[in-house]
Chain A
């Protein structure tokens, strides 16, 4: 049942394109798009381009997560750090991160460091904010109980604070990964000369629409795989948390 509507839509598209009700030049039938996808992987360089995007994504994600989680934890535990850092996060969080790309390209040149860093910054704020929220919203009774049983310092942190904040941290990582993917693909579309985002742009410019829709669908599949996969992982790993949420 869940597959009926998507399959029906695809069949309708196929039919309309075949009968030339919609222009097959701009809206090629899904069968031709899937042929183009298969050809792209077997004969073309679609696998390579996908790998380029995934590599950028992995680098961006690592560059964001490694500083963001400790910063969020520190902000949650030390008031002075929180107060000193909060204004920057408040100002920069709602800014479209793609607007940082020109600055990074001026500083670092037009190339991988600027592309990857734009993705990393997109994820960084989300992960920091989620981690901070994880520490701030933990039940204060947990802290009291931990202290009463003699935990403080490192022990209080590893046994009480970290496990309590972990679900929020994981949510932050999951959302951050999604944001990094969006930023990387957009950067590729705008400025890079490789990757799935660039493929959509290039095939748009040359009007090779089956390839264009193929790359487009691949981005969607990648996004779905990452978000759904991570959510499944989250429910399995962090059994003590409540519902990980929908978005």
Chain B
């Protein structure tokens, strides 16, 4: 990924197309071709973004979102990897849980909010547990697949050399499943962001989703665009940042989702 002048000459469209769009948007809004009430000029949005950052509003909404994503992701990762490993290792458990997961997994996480709010205290805990739901299933699925796709020959060989129990697990099964687990974690983190925004729209007064929704309700269109930019940036950091991290940490394995 060298981004010298050679890269630019080859891929100039990748840069030119968004730049042209932004300039076109700016001009069209300025001369009234686009209604500024709906399509504020990009420069105006930037001014509003600066103001939201300067007066601390943005930070006050971004921090709760980040801590919810962190909490939900940690919960989903720990439970998902443990469940997935167990399901990968024990056929009976897998066959028993598969149909349950198959029904529950396609249900959008936000719909769990009522059920979760009966189970755990309302407020922060309910938000975090709800956000964790879809990520948990994804991580559990990929981890199960990760254990199952390990070449039985490798396990056989390890057994012949005397590995069993914990040693077989840490030396063979876990490393073998790791690329899948990492893909699951990456997808799970992405889903945590998607769900947290929806959950915050439904039932939070703070958070980026809440800020977006409040800005809509009072028709602060510029603030909506500014908040959207921040959410999009967060999404890009979470998904592309983790993909880059994977390439560093697990250079021997291709990303499973890219196969």
Q: List the interface of chain A (C-beta within 8 A of B).
A: 1-6, 9, 23, 26-27, 80, 83-88, 90-99, 102-103, 105-107, 178, 181-182, 185-186, 189-190, 197, 200-201, 204, 212-213, 216-217, 219-224, 226-228, 246-247
A141 and B18 CA atoms in complex are apart in Å by 34
Chain B residues closer than 8 Å to A91, beta-carbon distance: 232, 236
Contact A107 B99 (CB under 8 A): no
- Contact present for B106 and A83 (CB under 8 Å): no
- A contact residues around B190 at 8 Å (CB): 94
The answer to whether B46 has its CB under 8 Å from any CB of chain A is no
Contact across chains for B13 and A221 when beta carbons are under 8 A apart: no
Q: Which of B25-33, B108-116, B155-163, B169-177 contacts A (4 or more CB under 8 A)?
A: B108-116
Binds A, one of B56-64, B73-81, B196-204, B244-252: B196-204
Task: Say whether B88 faces chain A, with CB atoms less than 8 Å apart.
Answer: no
Taken residue by residue from 204 to 225, chain B's Cβ proximity to chain A (1 for < 8 Å, 0 otherwise) reads as 0000010011011001010010
Chain B: interface secondary structure? helix
Q: Is the CB of B14 within 8 A of A84?
A: yes
User: Quick one: closest A residue to B12, CB to CB?
Assistant: A83
A-B contact sample (12 more), CB < 8 A, given A6-B99, A98-B194:
A1-B95, A6-B103, A83-B11, A85-B17, A86-B14, A98-B201, A105-B216, A189-B202, A204-B114, A220-B104, A228-B102, A247-B142
Interface residues of B (CB under 8 A from A): 11, 13-18, 38, 95-100, 102-108, 110-111, 113-115, 118, 138, 141-142, 145, 190, 193-195, 197-198, 201-202, 209, 212-213, 215-216, 219, 221, 224, 228, 231-232, 235-236, 238-240
Q: Please name the residue on chain A nearest to B142 by beta carbon.
A: A247
* Distance to closest chain A CB from B88 (angstroms): 13
Contact A96 B197, beta carbon cutoff 8 Å: yes
User: Are B114 and A99 in touch, CB under 8 angstroms?
Assistant: no
Cβ-neighbour of A223 out of B18, B100, B106, B213 (below 8 A):
B106
Find chain A residues with CB under 8 A from B100 CB. 5-6, 9
Q: Is the CB of A99 within 8 A of B11?
A: no
A197–B224 alpha-carbon span in the complex (Å): 25
Partner of A178, one of B13, B106, B113, B232: B106
Q: How far is the CA of A136 from the CA of B113 in the complex (A)?
A: 40
Q: How many A-B residue pairs have CB under 8 A?
A: 143
Chain A binding site: helix, strand, loop or mixed by DSSP?
helix
Question: Which B residues touch A6, using CB under 8 A?
Answer: 99-100, 103
Contact call A190/B17, Cβ cutoff below 8 A: no
Shortest beta-carbon distance from A139 to chain B in Å: 15
A219 in complex: contacting residue of B96, B108, B232, CB < 8 Å: B108
Cβ of A87 and Cβ of B104 under 8 Å apart?
Answer: no
Complex A-B: 29 CB contacts under 8 Å: A1-B95, A2-B95, A3-B99, A5-B96, A6-B103, A88-B17, A91-B236, A93-B239, A94-B193, A94-B235, A95-B235, A96-B194, A96-B197, A96-B235, A98-B197, A98-B201, A102-B224, A106-B216, A106-B224, A178-B106, A181-B106, A189-B108, A197-B111, A204-B113, A216-B111, A219-B111, A223-B105, A224-B106, A247-B141
Residues on A with beta carbons closer than 8 Å to the beta carbon of B238:
94
Q: CB-nearest residue of chain A relative to B19? A: A87
* Known contacts A2-B95, A95-B231, A107-B38; A88/B18 CB under 8 A: yes
CB neighbours of A197 from chain B (8 A): 108, 111
A206, chain B: closest CB distance, angstroms: 11
- Most B CB contacts (10 A, CB to CB) among A96, A181, A201 go to A96
B108 touches A92 (CB 8 A): no
| Nearest CB of chain A from residue B34's CB, rounded to whole Å | 11
Cα of A121 to Cα of B190 in the assembled complex, Å: 17
Q: Do B201 and A190 have beta carbons less than 8 Å apart? A: yes
B107 touches A223 (CB 8 A): yes
Q: Find chain B residues with CB under 8 A from A186 CB.
A: 108, 110-111, 198
